[in-house]
Amino acid sequence: MSAQTPACQLLERQPVRHGPLWVVGPPLDPWLIDQSAGVISADLAVLDAWRARDKSAFSPFEEESVESLAGEVVLFWPKAHQLGIWWLEWLCEGLPADTPIEVVGEHNGGIKRVPKVLAERGMECDKLDNARRCSLFATRTVKRASGDDVWTRFDALGLTLISHPGVFGHGKVDEGTRLLLDVLDGELPSTPLSTPLRVLDMGCGDGIISAWLAHRGHQVTAVDVSAFAVESTQRTLRVNGLEGRVLQSDVFSALQGERFDLIVSNPPFHQERDVSYGPSQRLIRQAPAHLTSAGQLMLVANAFLPYPDLLQSAFEQFQTLADNRRFRVYRA
């Protein structure tokens, strides 16, 4: 089996490695799963793919994660530059000083900025290879004072939000979410705390929708495929003194048999630089099985996305509650 993604194709042409390979923040590539001993990732789909092959897989928020790193470590540089810096500093904090690591990534994903990032942290930089519009660098960890300043704290809509690089809408409330909350404000009944709606926030990001709903007395479950989003939402709820259940889940994977009065979502359609409708399609198609008899799905999406046909197929009818030409809010 050959590598499929450009960064993995660059790794494939490197000399044979003599120790176990651990990959950090990688793409889904069957070749890489075969070649590696384990993975550290915030993406549940990636973790599940490695576990399905009986390989070690950890979230960066699990205590065993950095302790498991032994052998050769390769960091895949993400599109979100600040997230790449976070991963680099996480490795420096958790690994012994002077531990060799490699950093690989695509040119249009920001890998060319890595030498400057390393220099700013007093880390050496040796360019090992360049092909497939990707580059591979070698460096060594340097111990730095640990800190939590990567978490962005900001106020919006009467709430305090805690966000992490790489989480959707990092550091701001996007226009689509604002439109969705405006519609929810007019559509949801003024529910007494004794009879809250059971609400699922699908793709919770930094927790703005979950916190907004919890603040109004609803019983909130929030899910996201990203461990960074799960941690962000937990921190957002906590800093606002709000209750809610937050789970890492690939769409409905962690919610077998559960039903809700309302499912709300601002679903993603990008996977790094690629457009992907897969999670949104599963959300819409599987939503009826997770709604009560009078339950509703409300989602906001870019106006050009092909969701009306999916909604019609899954629910037989739906409404467009708002349309500002850039975003639409649908109810089914």
Q: Quote the pLDDT of residue 252.
A: 95
What percent of the chain shows pLDDT beyond 70? 94
pLDDT surpassing 70 at residue 328: yes
Give per-residue pLDDT as tens, 112-144: 999 999 999 999 999 999 999 999 999 999 987
Average pLDDT of span 155-179: 90
**CATH number 3.40.50.150 given to 6-140:** yes
pLDDT surpassing 80 at residue 148: no
> Mind spelling out the 3-state secondary structure of the chain?
CCCCCHHHHHHHCCCCCCCCEEEECCCCCHHHHHHCCEEECCEHHHHHHHHHCCCEEECCCCCHHHHHCCCEEEEECCCCHHHHHHHHHHHHHHCCCCCEEEEEEEHHHCHHHHHHHHHHCCCCCEEEEEECCEEEEEEECCCCCCCCCCCEEEEECCEEEEECCCCCCCCCCCHHHHHHHHHHHHHCCCCCCCCCCEEEEECCCCCHHHHHHHHCCCEEEEEECEHHHHHHHHHHHHHCCCCCEEEECCCCCCCCCCCEEEEEECCCCEECCEECCHHHHHHHHHHHHHEEEEEEEEEEEECCCCHHHHHHHHHCCCEEEEECCCEEEEEC
Class of residue 134 by CB neighbours under 10 A (exposed 0-12, middle 13-18, buried 19+): buried
Q: Quote the pLDDT of residue 193.
A: 56
Pair 7, 106: CB distance under 8 Å = yes
Pair 323, 331: CB distance under 8 Å = no
Give per-residue pLDDT as tens, 170-216: 778 899 999 999 999 998 865 555 578 999 999 999 999 999 999 99
Q: Quote the pLDDT of residue 270.
A: 43
CATH 3.40.50.150 in the chain is located at 6-140, 152-331
Q: Quote the pLDDT of residue 114.
A: 97
Q: Quote the pLDDT of residue 19.
A: 84
Q: Quote the pLDDT of residue 273.
A: 44
Q: Phi and psi dihedrals of 94, rounded to 5?
A: -90, -25
pLDDT surpassing 80 at residue 37: yes
Question: In the structure, what pLDDT confidence band is assigned to residue 275 with cuts at 50, 70 and 90?
Answer: very low
pLDDT surpassing 80 at residue 271: no
pTM score of the predicted model? 0.90
Question: In the structure, what pLDDT confidence band is assigned to residue 274 with cuts at 50, 70 and 90?
Answer: very low
**CATH number 3.40.50.150 given to 152-331:** yes
> Where on the phi/psi map is residue 87: left (φ > 0), alpha (ψ -120 to 50), or beta?
alpha
pLDDT surpassing 70 at residue 165: yes
Q: Quote the pLDDT of residue 272.
A: 45
Pair 311, 284: CB distance under 8 Å = yes
Pair 285, 314: CB distance under 8 Å = yes
pLDDT surpassing 90 at residue 146: no
